Amino acid sequence: MQITATVNGSEVVRDVEPRVLLVHYLREVLGLTGTHWGCDTSNCGTCVVLLDGQPVKSCTVLAAMVDGHEVRTVEGLADGATLDPVQQGFMEEHGLQCGFCTPGMMLTARALLDKNPHPDEGEIREAISGQICRCTGYATIVRSIQWAAAHPATAAVDGTAETVGAQA
């Protein structure tokens, strides 16, 4: 069947079998391998992407279900050479070790901050509670998200933080 979706801001039209899961559509059909494929059982959360702005586990959504909807993956976080504050935060605070859970963690963080720009630590921990970091690097992930909350508009073309917007 033909599906038309907006992926990272661009409209894409593809023919897929109805049984294709969103995670495989993104990785194999669109080549967006930044979305990782993990446990296959909706538990680990490494496959989290944003569907109409909300985090979902893409191993438990059919590609067919995003027809007419907007999907944002980790590839759509940066604005050109400008990293999203969440990405910058993961650099500043060493939010990744092996990097496997990182795309899902960053997208959940983005959705959290869009809804609640000043989350407390408990709210951050709750937001990422459906995602597993196999390196158990939760403390630095939480700090990375706190960093992003404190630097809502950051230009970091060369990878260094430089606050250009209003502070939290």
Partner 1 sequence: MQIPAPFDYVRAASVGDALALLERHGPESRVVAGGHSLLPMMKLRLARPEWLIDINGLAELDFVTEEIDRLSIGALTRHTTLLESALVGRLFPIVHDAERVIADPVVRNRGTIGGSLCQADPAEDLSTVCDVLRASVVIVGPGGEREVDMADFHRGPYESACEQSEMVTEIRLPIVARSGSAYEKVERRVGDWAVAASGASVTLAEDGTVADACIGLTALGMEGVATAAAQSLIGRQPTEEAFVEAGRLAAEASHPTDDQRGPVDYKRHLADELTRRVLRLATQRAGQSARTGSGS
**Could you list the residues that contact ligand FAD (CB under 6 A)?**
42-43
Compute the least distance from the CB of residue 54 to partner 1, in Å. 5
Residue 62 DSSP one-character state: B
DSSP letter string, 76-98: GTSBTTBPPHHHHHHHHTT--SS
33/43 with CB nearer ligand FAD: 43
For partner 1, give the closer residue by CB, 30 or 83. 30
Which is nearest to 32 in space by CA: 74, 62, 68, 90?
74
Shortest Å, Cβ 126 to partner 1: 6
CA Rg, the chain, in Å? 16
Instruction: Verify binding: residue 73, partner 1, rule CB under 8 A.
Output: no
Query: Can you read off the two tokens belonging to residue 104?
Result: 């899902």
Binding residues for partner 1, rule CB under 8 A, total 29
Residues with Cβ within 8 Å of 26's Cβ and at least 6 positions away in sequence, in order, are 7, 32, 35, 49, 58, 71, 73
Q: Which does 165 bind (CB under 5 to 8 A by kind): partner 1, ligand FAD, none?
A: none
What residues line the site for partner 1 (CB under 8 A)?
Answer: 1, 17-21, 24, 40-43, 45, 48, 54-57, 60-62, 64-65, 67, 108, 126-127, 129-131
